[in-house]
Chains A and B, each alone.
Chain A
Amino acid sequence: MSQRIALSWLQLRHEKMKLFAAVAGVMVSVILMWMQLGLMKALFASAVRFHGSLNGELVLVHSQYEHLLHSKPFSSRLLYRLLGSSAVDDVFAISMAPSEWKNPWNGEMRSVQCYGIETDQPCLSISGLPEQLQELRSTDQFLYDRGSRPRFGDVIGAVERKEPVEPEINRRRMILSGLVDLGASFGVDGSILVSHANFLRLFSERKPGMIDVGVVRLRDTSLLPELQKQFQEQLGKEVSVLTVEQFKDRELRYWKSATPIGVIFTAGTVVGFFIGFIVVYQILYTDVTNHLPQYATMKAMGFSNGYLYRLVLEQSLQLAVLGYIPGTFITALLYAGLQKATQLPLELDLTRGVALIAVTVMMCAFSGVLAVRKLASADPAEVF
């Protein structure tokens, strides 16, 4: 106890109920902000999970390609022309389109994203694919994304029970051969993978040789920018040659501009901020008001306004930290539950963690600065 008196903390903890209310307020606000930011990030992350698992460095799409659910096919000959370049290790053609899945248990129709892929080598680096690629070669076989939402039926349960799953997809009876891990997103509730041959069976209107995404794997990735430019010139204007990052950006651009998701979640975060701000302000303001006679006494005894301002600001920072820690802890629990329910990749990441504590401190400090103005009305002459 040779330290100076921790006046701010002793004062703050003096009234337990008030302290609890203030901490709870900050906590709720922190949880709200975490949820909003987390969901927004998860949404965007989930939207580009497919893009991120492509087994290559460059991606070919039609120049009018918009997003996964709104693609325009182009001729696979353009992609295979790149095999002539010595810099190219391999290329993969991917077809994709939404298809109609009839829930085998209750007959409901759901839209499922169907990818047609090559079966000699995995074009996606996702778990479960390489070892099950062979099976796709048989007629009407498909792989099912374990991350698909439950609305497609209890496919995973059936697999675990070793029951056959044979849903109708695009009015064609298909046979489930296994599960892979790709993950659902806000736009795509579920995904299936089939061979190109089976893809054409499902989509009879599709012309053979037309693909949606071409994946290019390079021998030497250091030449990426030059090769991208070179291939773009070589292939002309019909297709866009993109890096994986650009491919992701294009997808995200769609979600950010065409949907209000970004705005909604940003607004939610701001609401969370203001809830915390108002709660902390209210608490600190009434606290300062209640302590005015004491502050007046201290002023009379020679304590400066600055000393008292610091006292209140310290308290606001203590509230920030006290609310942030349990708030983040509860968020972790909520994330775990939500991840299970929505298959969205929710995670407490360090960047957001740091940003959020900064925002929380700002929020509390801001409340403190406003509440502190009340201190000026503590008239030391009144104590006599």
Chain B
Amino acid sequence: MTSKTLRIESGESTRRSYGGALPASHGPVISGEGINFSFGQGELQKQILFDVQLEIQPGEIVLLTGPSGSGKTTLLTLIAGLRTLQEGRLNVLGHSLCQAPQQNLLDLRRKIGFIFQAHNLLPYLTALQNVQVMFDLQPHVSPAEGRDRAVAMLKDVGLGDRLNYHVSRLSGGQRQRVAIARALVGGPQLVLADEPTAALDSVSGREVVNILQRLAREQGRPILMVTHDARVLDIADRVLEMQDGRLQTNTVRTERPSAHQSATAASALST
């Protein structure tokens, strides 16, 4: 609790040691334009994305909403380097995704923290192990350090007393919190989340996005979150709306809340 008080007092940016240092990047984290994407070939070809243009700045929390089938998830997988860009220009964390080789995409994905619709945790591991395993991607981090960082991260999402619980013994909200810890522990430069609240009830869903928002703010990590959960839109700096594969005009729904506000909100909720 002391750290929390400290954070509130110290105001703006209290970056924690567990994240990897964010590069002092200027310029956008994600920038794309003229993105067209289709599934299928020939007559069965179905275009999903039409001339999408977007830009996300460092530290921004951006929500991507829209009805199902509007192409949100497809756009997310393109940004994540999980699908091959067909047309247009897309730059993510300094990687150009136009005809990028597999290894580059892998390198890119390692800089991204992923949060999935279902928690997608490894069921045979404990909460701690699920977070720790991410350090297999960072051989320069010693096992001991990896463990310490994983423990700190789990404490930060409020699971300090559940470290050695197997996934099967955690509630849905707790699992998603482990997933958040897993996504953030390696110090990603970008967090991509796909409907992280879809499988949760409103209370635990709210809790999960609050934690996500708080940590992202503290660490200054940009988030792009696909959601059509209207209840969580308020955490965003910006909400992008997608309709039939087209991105509607960028709408700034909320002013970026100050660190003070968000931290207070988070501490109020987690206590």
Contact = CB atoms under 8 A, between A and B. Distances in A.
B159 to A, nearest CB: 17
Contacts of A302: 106-107, 109-110, 112, 137
A11 B123 CA distance: 9
A14 interface: yes
Which 5 residue pairs are nearest across A and B when measured between Cβ atoms?
A14-B124, A302-B110, A302-B109, A381-B82, A297-B120
A138 to B, nearest CB: 77
A5 B136 contact: yes
B144 to A, nearest CB: 4
A301 B134 contact: yes
A1 B116 contact: no
B48 interface: no
B36 interface: no
A358 B64 CA distance: 55
Contact of A383 (B120, B125, B135, B137): B120
A300 B143 contact: no
A274 interface: no
A384 B122 contact: no
A380 B123 contact: no
A301 B147 CA distance: 19
B110 A10 contact: no
Given A5-B133, A380-B82, A384-B82, 7 more contacts: A5-B132, A7-B125, A7-B133, A302-B110, A303-B136, A303-B137, A384-B117
Nearest to A303: B137
A4 B143 contact: yes
B197 interface: no
Residues of A in contact with B, size category: 20 to 34
Contact of A14 (B73, B76, B123): B123
A interface SS class: helix
A381 B106 contact: no
B35 interface: no
B254 to A, nearest CB: 25
Given A10-B125, A381-B82, A4 B135 contact: yes
Looking at A5, A13, A307, the one whose CB has the most chain B CB atoms below 10 A away is: A5
A297 B116 contact: yes
Question: How would you classify the secondary structure of chain B's contact residues: helix, strand, loop or mixed?
Answer: helix
B134 A2 contact: no
Interface string A1-29: 11111010011011000000000000000
Contacts of A381: 77, 82-83
Contacts, number: 67
A52 interface: no
A300 B82 contact: yes
B194 interface: yes
23 contacts: A1-B147, A2-B143, A4-B135, A4-B143, A4-B146, A10-B125, A11-B122, A11-B124, A13-B124, A14-B123, A293-B120, A294-B123, A297-B116, A300-B80, A300-B109, A300-B114, A301-B110, A302-B106, A302-B110, A303-B136, A304-B106, A384-B117, A384-B194
Contacts of A297: 114, 116, 120
Contacts of B129: 5, 10
Contact of A2 (B83, B110, B147): B147
A294 B82 contact: no
Interface string A293-330: 11001001111100100000000000000000000000
Contacts of A11: 122, 124
A13 B147 CA distance: 22
B185 to A, nearest CB: 11
Contacts of A301: 109-110, 114, 134, 137
Contacts of B194: 384
A133 to B, nearest CB: 70
A14 to B, nearest CB: 3
Contacts of B110: 301-302
A294 B77 CA distance: 17
Contacts of A7: 122, 125, 133, 136
A297 B183 CA distance: 12
Contacts of A1: 147
Interface in B82-126: 82-83, 106-107, 109-110, 112, 114, 116-117, 120, 122-125
Choose among A11, A297, A301, A302 the residue with the greatest number of B CB atoms under 10 Å from its CB.
A302
B134 to A, nearest CB: 7
B66 to A, nearest CB: 15
A303 B139 CA distance: 12
Nearest to A291: B122
A13 B77 CA distance: 33
A13 to B, nearest CB: 8
Nearest to B195: A384
Interface string A368-384: 00000000000011011
A294 B179 CA distance: 13
